[in-house]
Amino acid sequence: MEDERRRLLDRIREELGDLKVIQAMEHVDRADFVPPSSAHLAYEDIPLPIGEGQTISQPFIVALMIGALDLRASDRVLEVGTGSGYQAAVLARLAREVVTVERIPSLAESAENRLKALGIDNVRVHLAGDELGWPEDAPYDAVVVSAAAPTLPRKLIDQLVIGGRMVAPVGSMGSQELMRVVRTADGFSVRTMGYCRFVPLIGPDAWPEDTLVDDGDPL
């Protein structure tokens, strides 16, 4: 593995501990998921543009979110926000099946092609409509949301099994708290994991489209 890539993963390991997700990240090359013009930045711990105003998340945040899902090899996972497909590829190494949804057709298509070309066969990419998540394949053992939501997305909690975990950035468009939710028999419990900044979720469960302004670098 290249020195820069090794250093990136070692730094994340120092901060988060030796999580299984970091071992999984050793097998997924982020350079395969960033545009050629950003290839030299693939192992920097920063988000990078992937077109359509969207970004591939910061590797530290990917590790933090996936780590908090406490995945077992038999789990089925839903990812909201396929983007480049990078996080889906990492999830695919830790779970039995990954269902990932993306709102923007060109991103969904290129992520699907990329995952196929890499021989990753346990990820299903779906083009999302107005409905949040992918209820037809629910319930999931875990849900990870890669775009910011104004409120805790109850429609995604409903797509979890009892005991299922969800990680989602919730807050304002400029800053969110990463929330870890566990669905329980009579509702759900929530704990917060610190601040983050994601691109906003698109659709009726998020902010009105005309309020979506580009005011900086999201995660």
Just list the catalytic residues: 57
Which residue in the set 84, 110, 159, 176 belongs to the binding site for ligand SAH (CB under 6 A)?
84
CB of 176 to ligand SAH, least distance (A): 13
Which residue in the set 43, 55, 61, 93 belongs to the binding site for ligand SAH (CB under 6 A)?
55
What residues contact 170, with CB distance under 8 A and at least 6 apart? 148, 149, 150, 151, 152, 153, 176, 177, 179
CB of 186 to ligand SAH, least distance (A): 28
Which residue in the set 22, 42, 54, 134 belongs to the binding site for ligand SAH (CB under 6 A)?
54
Q: Please state, in angstroms and rounded to a whole number, the distance separating the CA atoms of residues 133 and 145.
A: 9
Choose the binding region for ligand SAH from 5-13, 101-109, 158-166, 208-216 (rule: CB under 6 A). 101-109
Which residue in the set 57, 58, 159, 176 belongs to the binding site for ligand SAH (CB under 6 A)?
57
- Examine residue 91 and tell whether it contacts ligand SAH (CB under 6 A): no
- Restricting to residues 117-176, name those near ligand SAH by CB under 6 A: 128, 132, 146-147
Size of the site for ligand SAH (CB under 6 A): 23
Quote the Cα angle for 8-2-26, to 5°. 60
Q: What does 99-142 look like in DSSP terms, one character per residue?
A: EEEESSHHHHHHHHHHHHHTT--SEEEEE--SSSS-GGG--EEE
Give the bridge partners for 189, in sequence order: 182
- Examine residue 81 and tell whether it contacts ligand SAH (CB under 6 A): yes
Q: Please state, in angstroms and rounded to a whole number, the distance separating the CA atoms of residues 16 and 158.
A: 29
Give the bridge partners for 188, in sequence order: 183
Over its C-alpha atoms, the chain yields an Rg (Å, rounded) of 16
- Examine residue 101 and tell whether it contacts ligand SAH (CB under 6 A): yes
Choose the binding region for ligand SAH from 11-19, 99-107, 163-171, 176-184 (rule: CB under 6 A). 99-107
Choose the binding region for ligand SAH from 17-25, 76-84, 161-169, 187-195 (rule: CB under 6 A). 76-84
Give 106: exposed, middle or buried? Use CB within 10 Å, 0-12, 13-18, 19+.
Answer: exposed
Block residue for tokens 């329980």: 184
Q: Which residues bind ligand SAH (CB under 6 A)?
A: 54-57, 80-81, 83-84, 86-87, 101-104, 107, 128, 132, 146-147, 199, 201-203
